[in-house]
Structure 1
Amino acid sequence: MRTAWTAAELMDTEFPDPKWAVPSLISEGVNLLAGPPKVGKSWMSLGLGLSVAAGGDPRGPACARRSDSGHTVPFAATGRQRGHRQLAGPQP
């Protein structure tokens, strides 16, 4: 597997089209969702992850249901535990 590229090699290489977890929004692999505090990033990522895991289309019920589901791994690097507890829901 290559670990280094020159700019010319990178520009001349044909890469396959990405596979989309959320069509035209989030591709398979690692993605970064960033923005100012308190705008709903955690809730958006939770909703998108649940939809992808269930095989649904996160754009809404009017869109065609996907036939495949995917694996999602939530990772929050905010450093605040309170919000994580809210996402986890009540604990016994």
Structure 2
Amino acid sequence: MSGKVIVCRCNDVTAEEIEELIDSGVTDIEEIKRLLRVGMGPCQGRTCMPIVISILARKTGRKPEDIPLPRARVPVRPVRAGVLAGGDDE
């Protein structure tokens, strides 16, 4: 997988960008997430994170099941469920 293959559709991150970052020595999934913003879009990584993990596993020789999913982070301040659901305009 390389070139202009889009891995994270939410943030337009390509397989090439992920591979270049790994080749430069970044092999921590949390750091990849922070640097490229994969998994931070509306899908919250449901689409791209399995692909990122498979690229990371292939490039580092690790097993995909040995690479933990990145931690989910809650909002900095409390947000009402209605706002998240789109029913409240606050």
Q: Is TM > 0.5 for Structure 1 vs Structure 2? A: no
The structure with the larger Rg is 1
TM-score (normalizing by structure 2):
0.30
- The structure in which a higher percent of residues are helix is 2
TM-score (normalizing by structure 1):
0.30
Structure number with the bigger relative contact order (C-alpha 8 A, sep ≥ 6) is 2
